[in-house]
Amino acid sequence: MLKRLHLAGQWVFLHVEGLFNLAFGEKLNPLYYLGPIAYYLMWVVVASGLYLYAFFKTGVQGAHASVEYLTVQQWYLGGVMRSLHRYGADAVALTMLLHLTRHWCFDRYRGFRWFSWVSGLALLWLVYAAGINGYMLPWDRLSQFVVVATAEWFDRLPMFGGELVRNFIFPENVNDRLFSLLTFVHIGVSLAVLAVLWVHTQRVPQAKTLPPRPIAVTLTIALLALSLAKPAVSQGEANLAAAVTTIGFDWFYLPVYALLYRWGPGEVWGLVGGLTLVLALLPWLPPRRRKGPAEGYHMLVRPDNRIVAVREGETILDAGLREGIAFPYECRNGGCGQCKATLAYGTVDYGAYQPDMLTAQERGAGKLLLCSATPLGDLEIDYQPTAVPGGIRARVWTATVDALDLLAPDVMRVMLRLEGGERIEFYPGQYLNVLLEDGEKRSFSFATAPHVNDRIELHIRRIPGGRFTTQLFERTKVGDRLRFEGPLGSFFLREDSDKPIIFVAGSTGFAPVKSMLEYAFHRGLARRMILYWGVRRPEDLYLALLPRQWAREHANFSFVPVLSDPRPEDHWQERTGLVHDAILADFPDLSGYQVYACGSVEMVEATHPAFTAHGLRQDDCFSDAFRLAARVRSHAPELVRLGGTA
């Protein structure tokens, strides 16, 4: 039954949106931006309200007169502002209700989305409280009705006990303080709306809080035209000696008031309370059985070569954006086709979308819309990046090999210099893809810090039998040219925290750590930083002198090499064992730290659960290989190995 209602609602929305697409085009269809439009209109209401407040007199004599002054004598600005305030608020209620209905129809309110739903509901009621309260201020006949009816309604609550209405039906009780109180409530509730709006929006990854500019401009012009053509006016000054018999009524905000004298206050409380309860419980009605694993599914994203978790029912787009993947998108409603990508592996529920945006042929060819599709298992997604962190766009570069240094028997330092004296911008921790002649790619992290951008340093470990690394170690020479694309990836040093950082490097995972540390020293970061470099034998610490030198030069940095397989002839006097065991021995409580892990998949797989069991917050661990699951295709780990693949 519920499913049928959802499908019927989807059918209606998709068809109406399809019609709107014909008029507005897919990218500027207002129905795809109901949330951002409500947000924008809220700012219109706030801005116009501030202007009105500057002229509003909070007194029995002044309230109505000041609003009339704005409406009549200052019609060209004050009157327009009042109308914008009124119509903007009405439009907020309308767009919020449509926004809520759409999310319900498309089943975007259950599971992990319950918080957005419940906070949205709180927001809706707060907007109603602010709107209804706003109608009390002009002190016209409608204000009189709303004030008295609200008092009658609230008097039904035990704490008021029937005395509240006495403040409003005897003229001698209505004084200037009442208007100060009403204004205080109006501003207070409006501030609460903005606060809850912020909370509501924070839960949506990379939520847009403003519609595209053409929509915002057109909407503003439409409201201005409306304000001039049909200005909002008062309905005669309030007079407590005369009953309010007939009033123009705002049916966006006041429909329950029409029921007050038909049903009675208790019944209206029952309706509003019951409706609120039902709406608040909707995410759990009926309880839904989980179909997939508790931790959700995993998705390998290319070309980032990242593996991210996707919660059950979560769209691929939201999961990617939540993890900072630069998926392209626009409407987020299956209407513009901007987020089209390729499903390289796995099965999805394609969701509801405009048929023109994903044809049957495209679907057959493995295409999907990231904003509509939800996973039914582990996935592999290929997409075309259009933006990267900091707005640094990835592109193809040509470079020449400037130097080749054998740092260890199986590790080569490759220095590249960009042709034409070009310089590359990147974030410390990002990587590049070397493009092979047959179209294959090999990923390597930048080992230089971004401020050293005239040359690129790579640490490449030889993989036995690996095509590219064998060629590099045996045939490549200084002066050879190669092409690569970059910078890529959203794994980079975050500077929005003061927590101490533990870097965990395994083998050539030292390369991105070197980039991050050199950048941190260059920037003068004062955070405490500890590097644990885990390798098998001493010779695998191919640049050990460098971190030891950093430790001498920087008081906030320390270096702990850890060997997992030392031999007697190594005469190793320092730490031994697995690198994460050494970290946990030194830091049994990781709740106050951030961890950046770079290395083999096996190391990260062993590290992550151990660290989280010792208090490391999910938000404080960074690794492209984190959340890696054995269930993901067997070759996937190779793709996410930072520091080099075969």
Partner 1 sequence: MPSGASLAQLATYAAFGALLVALSRHPAYRPVPPGDALLQVSIAHAGVRLRPCRRLSAQELAARAPNMRAAFKCPRARSPVRVSIALDGRALLDETLAPSGFARDGLSTLYRRIPVAAGTHLLRVQVDDDVRAPHAGALREIELRLDAGQVLSIDFGPQRDGIAIS
- Judged by the rule CB under 8 A, the positions of this chain that interact with partner 1 are 20, 22-25, 86-87, 90-91, 94, 145, 149, 152, 155, 161-163, 165-166, 169-170, 218, 222-223, 225-226, 229-230, 232, 240-252, 254, 257-258, 261
Cβ-based nearer residue to partner 1, 229 or 360: 229
Q: What is the nearest approach in angstroms of partner 1 to the Cβ of residue 476?
A: 57
Q: What is the nearest approach in angstroms of partner 1 to the Cβ of residue 230?
A: 5
Six-digit token string for 432: 């590049």
Q: What is the nearest approach in angstroms of partner 1 to the Cβ of residue 23?
A: 4
Cβ-based nearer residue to partner 1, 11 or 251: 251
In order of 113, 189, 199, 203, the CA distances from 118 in angstroms are 9, 18, 11, 12
Six-digit token string for 184: 């205080």
Cβ-based nearer residue to partner 1, 12 or 630: 12
Six-digit token string for 76: 């060209």
- How far apart, in whole angstroms, are the C-alpha atoms of residue 11 and residue 374? 19
- How far apart, in whole angstroms, are the C-alpha atoms of residue 414 and residue 457? 6
Close Cβ partners of 255 (under 8 Å, ≥ 6 residues apart): none
Q: What is the nearest approach in angstroms of partner 1 to the Cβ of residue 241?
A: 6
- How far apart, in whole angstroms, are the C-alpha atoms of residue 589 and residue 602? 23
Cβ-based nearer residue to partner 1, 68 or 312: 68
Nearest alpha carbon to residue 381 among 350, 351, 347, 343: 343
Cβ-based nearer residue to partner 1, 218 or 342: 218
Cβ-based nearer residue to partner 1, 175 or 180: 175
Q: What is the nearest approach in angstroms of partner 1 to the Cβ of residue 54?
A: 24
Cβ-based nearer residue to partner 1, 247 or 282: 247
Nearest alpha carbon to residue 302 among 429, 426, 431: 431
Nearest alpha carbon to residue 469 among 640, 637, 646: 646
Q: What is the nearest approach in angstroms of partner 1 to the Cβ of residue 128?
A: 14
Six-digit token string for 293: 């694993």
CA angle 55, 57, 60 (to 5 degrees): 155
- How far apart, in whole angstroms, are the C-alpha atoms of residue 237 and residue 140? 4
Orientation angle between helical segments 80-105 and 2-24, nearest 10 degrees:
130
Q: What is the nearest approach in angstroms of partner 1 to the Cβ of residue 149?
A: 7
Q: What is the nearest approach in angstroms of partner 1 to the Cβ of residue 271?
A: 17
Cβ atoms 353, 26 nearer than 8 A: no
Provide the Cα torsion 96, 98, 103, 107; round to 10°.
150
Token pair 């029995």: residue: 60
Cβ-based nearer residue to partner 1, 227 or 490: 227
- What are the phi and psi torsion angles at 59 (to 5°)? -155, 160
Q: What is the nearest approach in angstroms of partner 1 to the Cβ of residue 221?
A: 8
Close Cβ partners of 560 (under 8 Å, ≥ 6 residues apart): 530, 531, 532, 533, 574, 575, 582, 586
Cβ atoms 6, 107 nearer than 8 A: yes
- How far apart, in whole angstroms, are the C-alpha atoms of residue 411 and residue 460? 6
**Other C-beta atoms lying within 10 Å of the C-beta of residue 512:** 31
Cβ-based nearer residue to partner 1, 169 or 272: 169
**Other C-beta atoms lying within 10 Å of the C-beta of residue 301:** 26
Cβ-based nearer residue to partner 1, 38 or 513: 38
Q: What is the nearest approach in angstroms of partner 1 to the Cβ of residue 201?
A: 24
Cβ-based nearer residue to partner 1, 243 or 526: 243
Q: What is the nearest approach in angstroms of partner 1 to the Cβ of residue 223?
A: 8
Positive or negative CA dihedral for 511, 391, 372, 284? positive
Cβ-based nearer residue to partner 1, 158 or 524: 158
Burial class (CB in 10 A: 0-12, 13-18, 19+), 112: middle
Q: What is the nearest approach in angstroms of partner 1 to the Cβ of residue 358?
A: 23
Token pair 């592999």: residue: 380
Amino acid letter, residue 365: A
Q: What is the nearest approach in angstroms of partner 1 to the Cβ of residue 141?
A: 10
Cβ-based nearer residue to partner 1, 125 or 154: 154
Cβ atoms 388, 488 nearer than 8 A: yes
